[in-house]
Amino acid sequence: MNNITKLYLQKKFQEFYMKHYIGCIGIQNREFGIGNLEKKIAFRHRSFKSTNDLNKYLRLNAPFYISYSSAYYEFPEAEMNKKGWMGADLIFDFDVENFLEKENFEKVKEECLKLLDFLKQDFGFKNIRVNFSGSKGFHVKVFDEKVRKIDKDGRMEILNYITGNGLDIKKFFEKRKEGDMEFLVGPGKDARGWGRRINALAQQILKERISNKRIRKEKREKAKKILEEIELGKWENFERELNMDDLKKDIKKEAVNLTSDVDKQVTQDIVRLIRLENTLHGGTGFIAKIIDIEKFNLSNFSDVIAFGEDKEEIFLKEDVKFCLLKNYDLKKGICKVPEYVGIYLLLKDKAEVVAKGGSA
């Protein structure tokens, strides 16, 4: 990347920060890492006394990346062993290649929504934020004070729980005797945690049977009766009439699928640096924006695009094909593209700014 392109990108990032005020929870006790075009965290151990100080820095320096610690420290600018760790937020990272392809996008969104259900319903966490990562996925951050003192082992237990690692469905059922009769007892409609999911999945299976007109009426009526029974925690007829093995197999789909071991390490790490919400990503020019994940989809992806649609000239170093709100198939040489597309390609080092006179 030539110097003209670097200066152009720096100017555009600065324009963004001049127009936007960036907040940060617990800023006084956070460590910050600053990145450039070569390295996402070029230096760290930086701190800010207030959000005003942070925004002055952003407007003056316009870094290509800025990350902050999940941890809270007494002395955030000190060396690691002298910082005085006070606790850390609980962080989850979802990344997937080719994020903007509809199928990949929907998959990672579904996993994110499953995680939120676990965090809210099973753990009772309330202070949760979801933000677009700025590139290939989502960050989920739990700011509840009760998570801050959880150590690495405790965070691993949370990971095992939400991913269904070691889940044994048999533990949710037991045989009970009433006189000479033996009954299978399991999760009812008021069950919590994985028991709630097991019951909900069984209800779904039964409701599909009830609504299936190709199944004989007597079997559909039987399914209605079983549905009433499992709401009360009575599973004897479910086991007799339906396949418990299918239930065991399908319940695994309710677990959260973190896409890589790297993503799991993010959750375990109690000193992690992660992108500051609502700042720019130096590899795309997108905003790591706080979002409502339930409403967020590819049709409103433009909400996280920081730059405009006015046409700009760039010089492409090679032929490129990519998707950015729409499909692009561009040939090497000078071409005109929307500003946000140009900045994306410049940051990917696929292009250079066209200088006056028509050359790169």
pLDDT at 179: 76
The tokens of 182 are what?
């033996």
**Length of the chain, please?**
360
Of the pLDDT bands very low, low, confident and very high (cuts 50, 70, 90), residue 320 is: very high
d(CA 163, CA 111): 10
Note the pLDDT of residue 276: 97
Q: How far apart are CA 8 and CA 215, in angstroms?
A: 66
pLDDT tier at 259 (50, 70, 90 boundaries)?
Answer: low
Inform me whether the pLDDT recorded for 97 exceeds 90.
no
Taking the C-alpha atoms of residue 320 and residue 24, their distance in angstroms, rounded to an integer, is: 37
Q: What is the CATH number of domain 3-164+259-303?
A: 3.90.920.10
CB 296 within 8 A of CB 316: no
Q: How confident is the model at residue 323 (pLDDT cuts 50, 70, 90)?
A: confident
The answer to whether 90 and 118 are in contact (CB under 8 A) is no
The structural domains of the chain, with segments of one domain joined by +, span 3-164+259-303, 169-254, 307-353
- Whether the pLDDT of residue 180 is over 80: the answer is no
The two structure tokens encoding residue 20? 């936007």
Q: From 3.30.379, 1.10.8, 3.40.5, 1.10.3470, which CATH number describes the 307-353 domain?
A: 3.40.5
Give the pLDDT of residue 359. Answer: 56
Whether 262 has a pLDDT exceeding 80, the answer reads: no
Q: What is the pLDDT of residues 42-63, one digit of tens each?
A: 999 999 999 999 999 999 999 9
Q: Which segments of 216-305 are extended strands (E)?
A: 273-275
> Does the pLDDT of residue 260 top 80, yes or no?
no
